[in-house]
């Protein structure tokens, strides 16, 4: 991909698609990691004397202006992080936006209003893309988290302006590609989260590449069923049990060790009292909400031996203290392992932050769905649209 550091940006207006889709609690930003992740590209452009026009989506306003989803608070936070003024305009690509861009000097930064206030954004609409393109001379995509969507600000716009990849996009692609192409071994892949169906493509692709595949979370329940075990009231996908059996059978021919829970933490409901049981002793009324301690210990030992670790998906309902133990033990094992560690997925990143080990992870992938699709080997339209 053409890289932004190779573009001649001095005195030019550069329109940068960023991913400022931050978690909010009533317009209060609860985690600014995504804003921080965009700083290197913004700093590079300012230092080189570009006029920097930033655009992002936030939440799901579905094509109309929604006050609580204004990007104004994000402009304020970005300004604090940059220690520089960041202008904001309550317009996406109309005459107010144009006037705001016209008022920018070299090195100044402007943030446009939430792209999804315009219905054309998610429709990859060419007239919205033209209006956006009229604001700038060069387009830079630094929104890895939005790269799996063909939207006006990620795809249609690349037909209208010279397009470049930002530093964050380049780094994500580099780290994830290296994992897929030539991981140092043993390569341990940890997959968890709610459902097999969300991550089926990733399991299928990563299983033959991994030396060890560790499965936890709600996803493991379907695999337990594939082993002929009863899972009571647990979240499980009955229609995927055969698929899960086939995946387990295929592991033999690729010499992949698959680790599944041998004990689990169950309860009758999330707030019910929890017990640890062997996977052969799950009652009809029980639901599995976490891996058990002996499973967590076995997973941690496999992780300790890894040279490369990829983790996507928590081991249990970690939002509840009673069911956070498995995720915590895995998070600590990943953080203390000498292997290169990559963690992706919104909830997984929230989990490593909650466990206080985020700084010990080598790469936190900012794109939830985008990282997963990249790992599945799918073409991401936002990346494919940037010329070589
Ligand atoms: P990520 O965002 O990291 O990709 P997912 O969204 O796939 O992860 O999965 C996270 C969700 O899975 C969490 O909300 C967690 O509570 C849920 N989960 C994990 N284990 C279980 C389980 N055994 N039963 C039900 N839900 C689970
Ligand atoms: Mg999630």
Verify whether residue 344 is a known catalytic residue. Answer: no
Please answer whether residues 339 and 184 qualify as being in contact, where contact means their C-beta atoms are separated by less than 8 angstroms: yes
Neighbours of 30 (CB within 10 A): 10
DSSP-assigned letter for residue 280: G
From atom 21 of ligand 1, which residue's Cα is the shortest distance away?
Answer: 218
The percentage of residues in the chain with a pLDDT greater than 70, rounded to a whole number, is 100
Above 90 in pLDDT, residue 96?
A: yes
User: Which pLDDT value is given to residue 45?
Assistant: 98
Verify whether residue 17 is a known catalytic residue. Answer: no
Q: How confident is the model at residue 351 (pLDDT cuts 50, 70, 90)?
A: very high
Strands (E), 157-224: 163-165, 187-191, 212-215
User: Which pLDDT value is given to residue 368?
Assistant: 82
Which residue carries 């919205």 as its tokens? Answer: 128
User: Which pLDDT value is given to residue 324?
Assistant: 97
Q: 3-state class of 212 per DSSP?
A: strand
Cβ neighbours of residue 305 closer than 8 Å, sequence gap 6 or more: 186, 188
Above 90 in pLDDT, residue 271?
A: no
Ligand 1, atom nearest to 195 Cα: 7
Q: What is the mean pLDDT of residues 129-136?
A: 98
The model carries a pTM of 0.90
6, burial (CB in 10 Å: exposed 0-12, middle 13-18, buried 19+) = exposed
CA angle 217, 371, 362 (to 5 degrees): 85
Residue 367 in tokens: 């794109």
Query: What is the rounded distance in angstroms from the CA atom of residue 135 to the CA atom of residue 158?
Result: 14
- Beta strand 28-29 with 24-25 is antiparallel
User: Which pLDDT value is given to residue 369?
Assistant: 87
Q: What is the mean pLDDT of residues 260-276?
A: 94
Query: What is the rounded distance in angstroms from the CA atom of residue 92 to the CA atom of residue 55?
Result: 8
Verify whether residue 346 is a known catalytic residue. Answer: yes
Instruction: Collect residues with CB below 5 Å from ion ligand 2.
Output: 346-347
Mutate to test the pocket of ligand 1, among 314, 331, 344 (most ligand atoms within 8 A of CB): 314
Query: How does pLDDT run across 37-56, given as a tens digit for each residue?
Result: 999 999 999 999 999 999 99
Positive or negative, the Cα torsion across 360, 363, 369, 375? negative
Radius of gyration from C-alpha coordinates of the chain: 23
User: Which pLDDT value is given to residue 213?
Assistant: 98
Q: 3-state class of 133 per DSSP?
A: helix
Query: How does pLDDT run across 5-42, given as a tens digit for each residue?
Result: 999 999 999 999 999 999 898 889 988 989 999 999 99
User: Which pLDDT value is given to residue 176?
Assistant: 95
Residue 85 in tokens: 């003024």
Phi, psi of 29, rounded to the nearest 5 degrees: -80, 120
Contacts of residues 236-239 at CB distance under 8 Å and 24 or more positions apart, as own/partner, are 237/195, 237/196, 237/197
Q: Ligand 2: distance of its center to the CA of 260 in Å?
A: 21
Q: What is the mean pLDDT of residues 255-259?
A: 96
| 348 C-beta closer than 6 A to ligand 1 | yes
The end-to-end CA distance of the chain, in Å, is: 4
Q: How confident is the model at residue 366 (pLDDT cuts 50, 70, 90)?
A: confident
| 345 C-beta closer than 6 A to ligand 1 | yes
Ligand 1, atom nearest to 312 Cα: 3
Query: What is the rounded distance in angstroms from the CA atom of residue 371 to the CA atom of residue 361?
Result: 16
Query: How does pLDDT run across 160-185, given as a tens digit for each residue?
Result: 999 999 999 999 999 999 999 999 99
Mutate to test the pocket of ligand 1, among 347, 369, 373, 376 (most ligand atoms within 8 A of CB): 347
Verify whether residue 34 is a known catalytic residue. Answer: yes
Query: How does pLDDT run across 62-82, given as a tens digit for each residue?
Result: 999 999 999 999 999 999 999
Q: Ligand 1: distance of its center to the CA of 289 in Å?
A: 9
Above 90 in pLDDT, residue 198?
A: no
From atom 17 of ligand 1, which residue's Cα is the shortest distance away?
Answer: 194
The percentage of residues in the chain with a pLDDT greater than 90, rounded to a whole number, is 92
From atom 14 of ligand 1, which residue's Cα is the shortest distance away?
Answer: 317
User: Which pLDDT value is given to residue 333?
Assistant: 98
Mutate to test the pocket of ligand 1, among 148, 193, 282 (most ligand atoms within 8 A of CB): 193
Query: What is the rounded distance in angstroms from the CA atom of residue 252 to the CA atom of residue 244?
Result: 14
Q: What is the mean pLDDT of residues 102-117?
A: 98
Neighbours of 70 (CB within 10 A): 18
User: Which pLDDT value is given to residue 270?
Assistant: 83
User: Which pLDDT value is given to residue 57?
Assistant: 98
Minimum mean pLDDT range among 190-194, 257-261, 271-275, 324-328? 271-275
Query: What is the rounded distance in angstroms from the CA atom of residue 374 to the CA atom of residue 18?
Result: 18
Above 90 in pLDDT, residue 346?
A: no
Ligand nearest to the CA of 194: 1
């Amino acid at each position: 991909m053409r890289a932004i550091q190779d573009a001649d940006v001095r005195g030019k207006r550069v329109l940068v698609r960023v991913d400022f889709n931050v978690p909010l609690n009533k317009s209060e930003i609860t985690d600014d990691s995504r804003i921080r992740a965009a700083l290197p590209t913004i700093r590079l452009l300012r230092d080189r004397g570009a006029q920097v026009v930033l655009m992002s989506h936030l939440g799901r306003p579905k094509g109309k202006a929604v006050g609580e989803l204004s990007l104004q608070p994000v402009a304020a936070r970005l300004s604090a992080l940059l220690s520089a003024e960041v202008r904001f305009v309550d317009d996406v690509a109309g005459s107010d936006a144009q006037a705001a861009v016209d008022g920018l000097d070299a090195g100044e930064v402007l943030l446009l209003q939430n792209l999804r206030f315009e219905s054309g954004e998610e429709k990859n609409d060419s007239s919205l893309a033209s209006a956006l393109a009229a604001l700038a001379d060069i387009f830079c995509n630094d929104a890895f988290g939005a790269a799996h969507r063909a939207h006006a600000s990620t795809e249609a716009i690349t037909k209208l302006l010279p397009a470049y990849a930002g530093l964050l996009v380049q780094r994500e692609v580099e780290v994830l590609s290296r994992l897929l192409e030539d991981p140092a071994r043993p390569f341990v892949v940890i997959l968890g989260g709610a459902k097999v169906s969300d991550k089926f493509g990733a399991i299928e692709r990563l299983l033959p590449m991994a030396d060890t595949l560790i499965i936890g979370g709600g996803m493991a329940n379907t695999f337990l069923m594939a082993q002929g075990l009863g899972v009571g009231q647990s979240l499980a996908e009955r229609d995927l049990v055969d698929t899960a059996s086939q995946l387990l059978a295929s592991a033999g021919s690729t010499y992949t060790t698959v680790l599944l829970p041998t004990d689990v933490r169950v309860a009758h409901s999330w707030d019910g009292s929890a017990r640890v049981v062997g996977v052969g002793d799950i009652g009809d009324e029980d639901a599995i909400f976490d891996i058990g301690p002996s499973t967590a210990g076995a997973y941690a030992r496999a992780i300790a031996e890894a040279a490369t670790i990829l983790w996507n998906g928590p081991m249990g309902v970690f939002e509840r203290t009673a069911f956070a133990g498995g995720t915590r033990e895995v998070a600590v094992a990943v953080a203390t392992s000498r292997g290169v560690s990559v963690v992706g997925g919104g909830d997984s990143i929230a989990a490593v932050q909650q466990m206080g080990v985020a700084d010990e992870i080598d790469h936190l992938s900012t794109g939830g769905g985008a990282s997963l699709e990249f790992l599945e080997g799918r073409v991401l339209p936002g990346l494919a649209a940037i010329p070589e």
